[in-house]
């Protein structure tokens, strides 16, 4: 081996540790063989041999490879693989390599050894050429054929691009899948929600139906209640009227004298009857207000007169002079247009309440005005120093029949209708009623009413056929020289009423004929030769309407007889069109001699040609009763 | 780390075109990739084009033979095409005959072999 070293011209050395190094080794061999002018086949042979041997030596430690050229004219390329430790090369590898190159020399050295692969170079090969640089470049750490590297890079890029596309497609697919899943989820959720909504809806519908049913039943109950009130109060009215009338009859100057005790008792009967009638009237009024039958009759009102009357009628109610009632004048308040009757009732109720629950101190009524919402308002403030109303009941007192429980009630009658009635009337007039109270110190009620009614509501006087307000001045004209009638026919099924009215009628006519039913009334008129007929409206069998029709159609002899219809029914319950024949329709309450005389005798000859003044069909209310009805409004 | 040889699908034939000098790892990866693709695509034939391969040593030769065997197991015939003369000579000198691996001179002939085998009509060479 001593001849090897001196001939070395160049010796690129590289380590051989990995498969990559084997690859580089054979590439190096290929490059070196090509550079040194070997034939193509020999190039491949050398490279393959190096590949076989390099692969065989991979398992050894500290393997190095070296390229060198030896000799002069007949030069030889020597590739040496040297290793420090490892098994000897396999005979197969050595044999394979030996088939490809001319010479293989294996030199064992202790644990290691070396293999020299020798390839003869063709003559004319340039051993000093640039081959060594190329081999070194090949074997260096960054070795690599630039062409091959470029191709590799291109391939790499291509593959990367393909990979990228595939990854994107997969991602897209994945996204689609995800989207589909989300869609399904959304759809499921939607279905679930729809179902839930539907269930809720059906529940709501059921609930609504139930609510409607409840509302309807509530309405029915309310209507039934109102009807009940109206019926009861109406039914009660007739007997009460009789009681009052009979009591008055007993007390009348012309009747048989009573002793003091009896007079006292009859007075009590009359007073209680009046109170009862007032209560019944009030009940009826509330019922009417409830059912919306009450309509305000707007007309100019003289506040001064109204307040004066209140002061006059309410004062006596104050107990024992320990309570002072002060009613302010209407100074500065313009003349309002409103329903006088309703206003009177409102204030009367409030004052009566205040007086009733004030043991000592003062009850005052003040009047003021204010402008709000572009309209003029008048304020009636009723203030007392009475027991007051507990806070938790200040709204409940506006419920019908509600009364604050307590010792203050002792000895005081009442229906519990006053406040709700007052509030309802106030609302009907387009106003508000507010209550503030401090228990033990007093109560203040403020009624706020428009000075003029709503513009859209016709503010003109009441229609000609409407009822005339009951509070019209009392028909004071007592007949100065009433000429008694000949025969007066009184038709009523109620003997009590007939008894009440009989003394009055006896002052009007020589003879009073009473009938308890209207059947055959025309015949009765003819038979008795009646000069006038007093006819009740509500009777079993033939009622007042039928009787009036019978009279009207019975020929001039009978039809010309003045007819006066009396009834306990409220004004609006009377069908005036069917009573066109009657000279007047009077209410049983407060029926007086003066009224009857006025109607029956006032236009004696007018019976045939038609009435004057109030007209046949006009309703003569109980105005002659000197506010008899209104006077009993207070609880 | 190592580069992978692309496997292209043409009908039911997989085409492996080796455009570089093969490193050992690349060959092993190829073997694996190819087997997977055969199963995934149901290919009936594989063409391995080694036109660009300059050196095939015993390892690479054996790997080619193994790859062909694996493909056959998966019901796909393998044809190695485009072998260079130097490579062929060297293989023979090494004592490797790539037994069991069909060879063809070029890609066209390789595909023709596969068509014949799978009973497909011959593509008109014209």
- Going from N- to C-terminal start, the domains of chain B cover 7-115
Between A61-65, A66-70, A460-464, B77-81, the lowest mean confidence (pLDDT) is in A460-464
Do the chains contact at A51 and B89, CB–CB below 8 Å? no
Do the chains contact at A52 and B6, CB–CB below 8 Å? no
Q: What per-residue confidence (pLDDT) applies to A488?
A: 87
Does the predicted model carry a pTM greater than 0.80?
no
Query: Checking DSSP bridges between strand A442-450 and strand A432-438, what pairing results, if any?
Result: antiparallel
ipTM of the modeled complex: 0.77
Burial class (CB in 10 A: 0-12, 13-18, 19+), A168: exposed
Between A109-123, A427-441, A458-472, A518-532, the lowest mean confidence (pLDDT) is in A458-472
Task: Taking residues A465-487, report their average pLDDT.
Answer: 46
B124–chain A Cβ distance below 8 A for any pair = no
In contact, B56 and B67? CB cutoff 8 Å? no
- A299: helix, coil or strand? strand
Q: What per-residue confidence (pLDDT) applies to A623?
A: 37
CA distance A67 to chain B (A): 19
Portion of chain A with pLDDT greater than 70, in percent: 79
In contact, A111 and A82? CB cutoff 8 Å? no
Calpha distance A9→A22 (Å, rounded):
24
Residue of A111, A107, A96, A99 lying closest to A55 (CA atoms): A96
Do the chains contact at B93 and A99, CB–CB below 8 Å? yes
B23–chain A Cβ distance below 8 A for any pair = yes
Range among A232-236, A312-316, A439-443 rated most confident: A439-443
Interface of A with B in 6-45 (CB under 8 A): 19-20, 22-23, 26-27, 30, 40-41, 43-45
Chain B residue closest in CA terms to A51: B57
A166–chain B Cβ distance below 8 A for any pair = no
Give chain B positions within 8 Å (CB) of A30. 54-55
Do the chains contact at A155 and B87, CB–CB below 8 Å? no
Do the chains contact at A159 and B56, CB–CB below 8 Å? no
Q: Name which residue leads in pLDDT, A540 or A44.
A: A44
Is residue A633 scored above 70 in pLDDT? no
Give the confidence band of A369 by pLDDT, cuts at 50, 70, 90. confident
Angle between helix B58-73 and helix A40-57 axes, rounded to 10 deg: 80
Q: What per-residue confidence (pLDDT) applies to A621?
A: 40
Q: What per-residue confidence (pLDDT) applies to A209?
A: 92
Number of inter-chain CB pairs under 8 A, A vs B: 67
Portion of chain A with pLDDT greater than 90, in percent: 9
DSSP code per residue over A53-88: HHHHHTTSBSEEEEEEEE-SSS-EEEEEEEESBSPP
B123–chain A Cβ distance below 8 A for any pair = no
Residue of A230, A246, A226 lying closest to A588 (CA atoms): A246
Do the chains contact at B93 and A52, CB–CB below 8 Å? no
Task: Taking residues A141-170, report their average pLDDT.
Answer: 70
Range among A479-493, A524-538, B107-121 rated most confident: A524-538
CA distance B120 to chain A (A): 30
Phi, psi of A447 (to 5 degrees): -105, 125
Is residue A461 scored above 50 in pLDDT? no
For A201-237, what is each residue's pLDDT tens digit? 999 999 999 999 999 999 888 888 878 877 777 788 8
Is residue A347 scored above 60 in pLDDT? yes
Q: What per-residue confidence (pLDDT) applies to A575?
A: 81
CATH fold for the domain made of B7-115: Transcription Regulator spoIIAA (3.30.750)
Do the chains contact at A44 and B25, CB–CB below 8 Å? no
Give chain A positions within 8 Å (CB) of B23. 19-20, 23
Portion of chain B with pLDDT greater than 70, in percent: 90
Query: Checking DSSP bridges between strand A509-515 and strand A532-536, what pairing results, if any?
Result: unpaired
């Amino acid at each position: 081996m001593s001849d090897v070293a001196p001939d070395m011209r160049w010796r690129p050395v590289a380590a051989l540790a990995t498969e990559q190094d084997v690859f580089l080794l054979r590439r190096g061999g290929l490059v070196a063989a090509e550079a040194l002018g070997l034939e193509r086949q020999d190039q491949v042979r050398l490279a393959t041999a190096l590949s076989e041997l390099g692969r065989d030596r991979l398992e050894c430690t500290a393997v190095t490879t070296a390229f060198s050229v030896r000799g002069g004219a007949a030069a030889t390329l020597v590739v040496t693989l040297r290793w420090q430790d490892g098994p000897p090369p396999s005979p197969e590898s050595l044999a394979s390599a030996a088939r490809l190159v001319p010479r293989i020399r294996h030199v064992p050295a202790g644990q290691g050894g070396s293999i020299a692969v020798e390839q003869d170079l063709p003559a004319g090969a340039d051993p000093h050429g640039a081959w060594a640089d190329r081999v070194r470049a090949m074997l260096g750490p960054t070795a690599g054929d630039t062409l091959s590297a470029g191709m590799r890079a291109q391939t790499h890029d291509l593959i990367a691009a393909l990979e990228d596309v595939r990854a994107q497609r997969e991602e897209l697919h994945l996204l689609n899948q995800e989207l589909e899943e989300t869609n399904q989820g959304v759809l499921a959720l939607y279905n679930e929600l729809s179902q839930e909504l539907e269930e809720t809806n059906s529940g709501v519908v059921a609930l609504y139906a139930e609510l409607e049913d409840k509302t309807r039943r509530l309405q029915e109950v309310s209507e039934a209640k109102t009807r009940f009130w109206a019926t009861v109060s109406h039914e009660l009215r007739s007997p009460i009227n009789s009681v009052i009338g009979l009591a008055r009859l007993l007390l009348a100057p012309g009747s048989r004298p009573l002793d003091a005790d009896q007079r006292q008792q009859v007075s009590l009967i009359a007073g209680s009857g009046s109170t009862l009638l007032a209560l019944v009237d009030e009940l009826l009024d509330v019922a009417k207000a409830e059912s919306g039958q009450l309509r305000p009759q707007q007309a100019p009102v003289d506040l001064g007169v109204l307040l004066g009357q209140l002061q006059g009628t309410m004062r006596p109610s104050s107990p024992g002079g320990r309570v002072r009632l002060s009613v302010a004048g209407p100074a500065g308040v313009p003349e309002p247009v409103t329903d006088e009757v309703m206003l009177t009732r409102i204030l009367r109720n409030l004052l009566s309440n205040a007086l009733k629950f004030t043991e000592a101190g003062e009850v005052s009524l003040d009047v003021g005005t204010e402008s709000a919402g572009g309209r003029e308002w008048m304020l009636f403030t009723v203030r007392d120093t009475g027991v007051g109303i507990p806070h938790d009941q200040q709204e409940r007192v506006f419920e019908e029949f509600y009364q604050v429980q307590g010792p203050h009630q002792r000895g005081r009658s009442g229906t519990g209708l006053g406040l709700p009635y007052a509030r309802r009337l106030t609302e009907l007039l387009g106003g508000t009623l507010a209550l503030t109270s401090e228990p033990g110190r007093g109560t203040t009620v403020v009624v706020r009413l428009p000075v003029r009614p709503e513009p859209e509501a016709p503010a003109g006087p009441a229609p000609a056929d409407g009822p005339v307000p009951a509070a019209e001045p009392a028909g004071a004209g007592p007949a100065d020289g009433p000429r008694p009638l000949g025969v007066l026919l009184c038709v009523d099924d109620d003997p009590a009423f007939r008894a009440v009215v009989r003394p009055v009628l006896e002052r009007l006519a020589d003879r009073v004929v009473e009938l308890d039913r209207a059947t055959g009334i025309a015949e009765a008129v003819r038979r008795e030769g009646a000069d006038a007929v007093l006819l009740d409206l509500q009777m079993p069998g033939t009622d007042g309407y039928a009787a009036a029709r019978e009279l009207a159609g019975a020929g001039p002899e009978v039809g010309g007889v003045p007819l006066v219809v009396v009834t306990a029914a409220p004004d609006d319950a009377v069908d005036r069109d069917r009573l066109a024949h009657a000279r007047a329709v009077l209410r049983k309450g407060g029926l007086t001699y003066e009224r009857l005389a006025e109607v029956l005798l006032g236009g004696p000859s007018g019976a045939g040609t038609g009435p004057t003044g109030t007209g046949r069909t006009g309703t003569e209310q109980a105005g002659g009763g000197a506010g008899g009805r209104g006077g009993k409004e207070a609880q | 780390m190592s580069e992978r040889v692309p496997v292209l699908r043409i009908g039911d034939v997989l085409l492996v075109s080796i455009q570089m000098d093969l490193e050992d790892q690349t060959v092993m990866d190829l073997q694996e990739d190819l087997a997977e693709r055969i199963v995934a695509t149901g290919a009936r034939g594989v063409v391995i084009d080694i036109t660009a391969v300059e050196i095939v040593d015993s390892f690479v030769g054996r790997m080619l033979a193994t790859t062909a065997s694996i493909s056959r197991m998966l019901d796909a015939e393998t044809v190695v095409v485009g072998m260079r003369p130097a490579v062929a000579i060297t293989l023979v000198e090494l004592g490797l005959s790539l037994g069991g691996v069909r060879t063809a001179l070029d890609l066209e002939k390789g595909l023709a072999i596969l068509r014949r085998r799978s009973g497909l009509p011959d593509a008109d060479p014209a």
